[in-house]
Amino acid sequence: MVLLEFSITPLDKGESVSPWVARCLEIVRSSGLDYRLHAMGTIVEGELDQVLDLFRRCVEAVAQDCNRISCTMKLDYRRGHRGRLEKKVQSVREKLSGEVKTG
């Protein structure tokens, strides 16, 4: 399984990019993959081909009306492990006392 963290930002549409983030989130939600939106991007969990295809579709959706896009992507591949969107955070919580803020 793979965790893919990504951000897609149009560079020619001004300061606020939330309309394009929402466009991508519609694609992410309809994929059926587990995901988390946070202040600086989105994390999706799935098989490698699923998450890469999802990223490609998001880039293409933003590129429909944007001439220049900046993209960041980070992959965490770990064979045989599922549910890491929750388990990775829970592991840190268990090692700390007190509340941990998450997105």
Domain membership of residue 21 (yes or no) is yes
pLDDT digits (tens, 9 = 90+) for 22-75: 999 999 999 999 999 999 999 999 999 999 999 999 999 999 999 999 999 999
Residue 39 DSSP one-character state: T
Domain membership of residue 47 (yes or no) is yes
Q: How many domains does the chain have?
A: 1
Q: Residue 33: what pLDDT?
A: 97
Question: What is the chain's Cα-based Rg?
Answer: 15
Place of tokens 């590129």: 63
**Based on the number of CB atoms within 10 Å of its own CB, is 55 exposed (0-12), middle (13-18) or buried (19 or more)?**
buried
The CATH code of the domain that includes 78 is 3.30.70.930
Whole-structure pTM value = 0.87
| Beta-bridge partner residues of 44 | 4, 35
